[in-house]
Structures are given as structure tokens and as C-alpha cells.
Amino acid sequence: MNPKISIIVPVFNVEPYIHECIKSILNQSFKDFELILVNDGSSDRSGDICDEYSKEDERIFVIHKKNGGQSSARNRGINAAKGDYIGFIDSDDWIHSDMYKILYEKASETEADITACNIVEYQKDGTERLFCYDNTDHLYDRNAAMNEIYLNERLTYSPCNKIYKRELFNGIRFKEGYILEDMDFAYKIIHQSNKIYYTGQALYYYRYNDNSTLRKTFSKKRLDEYQVRKDMYSFYLEHYPNQANEVYAEWFLKGLELYINVEKYFRNEKNQYKYLIAADRKRLKSLVLKKDYSRKKKILLSIGLISPHLLTKVYRFYWDKIKHEL
């Protein structure tokens, strides 16, 4: 008989953290799962540690592969999964002992295709922060969830605080070779679902990581985010046109932020990246006039309507003060 949940953990050079991650899974009050550890070409003892755990618990399966990145490892795990639901955990994080019990019970009670929980973020200075300060529960239909996901608040882009019905993955995989593959994956798989349940209980524990691509010094690889957001906008324009303008605003503002970093780190090449500040004035005007954004966001979009180049100057001088309010 197949397990109720397949838990997929991509593993790459996490020897200091992998024990805590695996133990938090094995200590789950929900027992009917398989744990798929995908060793993505680790050069430390991570792969050996995975093998040692697999000898102790028959629910653990280890896949060893050449390094191909997190998306590649997750996709290998999806291909091997046998569970009714699929969940993901990053190998330097850990989970509450009741996380899968609660997510599975909520999925069964509500007939949800996807069930999500809140996240506790452990910061670099040791402090804790809730990802979302809304501790209430919500049941979304597809349209409501698609209107929520691009905000990256309750329904975060992360796949790690969720379980998904396995059939949702028909034709869906993580995009390999891109950063922000979570964002690209999140809205596409919600589009495949009918009901999505969110509980405000914080059950997933995220560890701050200085080596994250998004926290390293800016590189041209970060420009992947522009394409991922552009693809999201095109997808909404085709399937959810009533929500496309709001998705456009996020894409437009992100393009300006990326252009500022190009100016800072690759100034001699900035003319190659003027596309990052291209503006659709018709859409910006509709947002400025109708959308109930914060006052600062409406001001920024109004400046962008006049001149994207002027808005990059505003961003350059005030970005540190305004970025948390957008």
C-alpha cells in the first residue's frame, strides 16, 4: 500500500544541519509517510548520513545523483514519489512534530488539493519572526488563491510549508537552472487545484541562510527574477486577466530594483538592460487610479507613469527606507 505522504528533501552539503532536519521528520506524530532524501552531489558527509538513516528506518529512501541544483533534486524526488500527497523540506530547516498530522487532517476535512501552514523564520541574530502575522485559517477556491499567491504572504511561494495532491504534478515540475523556481512553480500548481487550505499555525521552521542566492552580492543570475515575473504576468494575462494588472505592478517595480543593481554592479553594461525599466503606461495608469495600494506605492507608480528613469533615481536614494512598505 502506498504511503499517505511522500516527503522530499534535496540534500547538498548540509552536514551541520541534516541531522536536525531528518530527526524532525522521523519524530512526526503522523507516521504514514515515505522520506525521499535526494543527495545532489554533496562533497561533505551529507550523503553518507542519509544512507545511515536509511538503514535505521525502512520509510527512508536515498537517491544519489550528480549535482544539478535544488530544482533538479526535487524533480527526481517527485518522479520517485508514491504518496497520495507530496511535501518538500529544505535540508537546513526543520518542522513541528505535528506539522504533517495537521496538514493531512485539514486536507481530508476540507478536501483541499493543497494545504499550507505558517512559517517561523529564524533570523541571523537568533530572533524569531512569523512569515505571516495572520494566525487565522482560510479556505480558498482557485481564483481566490491566484489572487493571493503573487503577494507571497499567507500562501507563500515556498513549497516547503505545504502538502500537494500527487496528481497536481501531472505536467508540473520545478524549472531547472533558474533562481526563484519556487515562484515559478507556486502559481502554476495552484492553477491546477480547486481548493487550497491555509492554517495560521506556524509549523515550519526556516533557517536564515547567508549563502542564499538572493542574499549574496548581486549577480546577473538575479535577472532570472525579471523573466520569472514576466512569465507570471503573461500567465495571468491569459488565464486571470482581472488580476493581471496587480501582477504587472509587482513585475514593473521589481524590474526597477534590478536595474538599480545593474547600474551599481555593472554600470558599463547598463544600456543592455534598459528593458528592465520598460513601462506599460496604460496599465500603470489604471493601477494609480483604481487600485487600493498603500500611499507610498501609489506615489511610486505615479512617478513611474511619468518617467521610469525618474523612478529609478527615487529608488536609488530611498530604497532602503521604502522597500519594506511595498
User: CATH no. for residue 95?
Assistant: 3.90.550.10
In a domain, 74, yes or no: yes
Among 207, 234, 252, give the residue marking a domain's end: 207
86-95, 131-140, 265-274, 284-293: least confident range: 284-293
68-77, 106-115, 205-214: least confident range: 205-214
Q: 77 with 111, same domain?
A: yes
Among 207, 232, 267, give the residue marking a domain's end: 207
Q: 35 with 170, same domain?
A: yes
Among 207, 238, 263, give the residue marking a domain's end: 207
Q: 191 with 253, same domain?
A: no
Q: 203 with 233, same domain?
A: no
Q: What is the mean pLDDT of residues 240-255?
A: 90
Q: 235 with 139, same domain?
A: no
- pLDDT tier for residue 206 given thresholds of 50, 70 and 90: very high
Q: 56 with 90, same domain?
A: yes
- pLDDT tier for residue 97 given thresholds of 50, 70 and 90: very high
Q: 66 with 190, same domain?
A: yes
In a domain, 215, yes or no: no
Q: Count of CB atoms within 10 A of residue 131's CB? A: 18
Q: 188 with 265, same domain?
A: no
Greatest distance between any 2 Cα atoms in the chain: 64
- pLDDT tier for residue 183 given thresholds of 50, 70 and 90: very high
- pLDDT tier for residue 297 given thresholds of 50, 70 and 90: confident
Phi-psi region of 111 (alpha: psi -120 to 50; beta: other; left: phi over 0): left
Q: What is the mean pLDDT of residues 67-92?
A: 98
Q: What is the pTM of this model?
A: 0.91
Q: Count of CB atoms within 10 A of residue 29's CB? A: 11
Q: 97 with 240, same domain?
A: no
Rounded CA-CA distance 221/96 in Å is 34
Q: 16 with 75, same domain?
A: yes
Q: Domain of residue 32: give its range.
A: 5-207
Rounded CA-CA distance 38/28 in Å is 20
In a domain, 213, yes or no: no
Q: Count of CB atoms within 10 A of residue 160's CB? A: 19
Average pLDDT of every residue of the chain: 91
21-35, 117-131, 294-308: least confident range: 294-308
Rounded CA-CA distance 300/315 in Å is 9
The pair phi, psi for residue 44, each rounded to 5°, is -100, -155
Question: 63 pLDDT exceeds 90?
Answer: yes
Q: 197 with 281, same domain?
A: no
Question: 104 pLDDT exceeds 70?
Answer: yes
In a domain, 125, yes or no: yes
What local confidence, expressed as pLDDT, does residue 210 receive? 65
What local confidence, expressed as pLDDT, does residue 292 receive? 66
Q: 238 with 203, same domain?
A: no
In a domain, 245, yes or no: yes
Please count the structural domains in the chain: 2
23-27, 82-86, 256-260, 283-287: least confident range: 283-287
What local confidence, expressed as pLDDT, does residue 241 receive? 94
Instruction: Extract the C-alpha cell encoding 88.
Output: 518538500
The answer to whether the beta carbons of residues 96 and 16 sit under 8 Å apart is no
In a domain, 212, yes or no: no
The answer to whether the beta carbons of residues 85 and 68 sit under 8 Å apart is no
Question: 318 pLDDT exceeds 90?
Answer: no
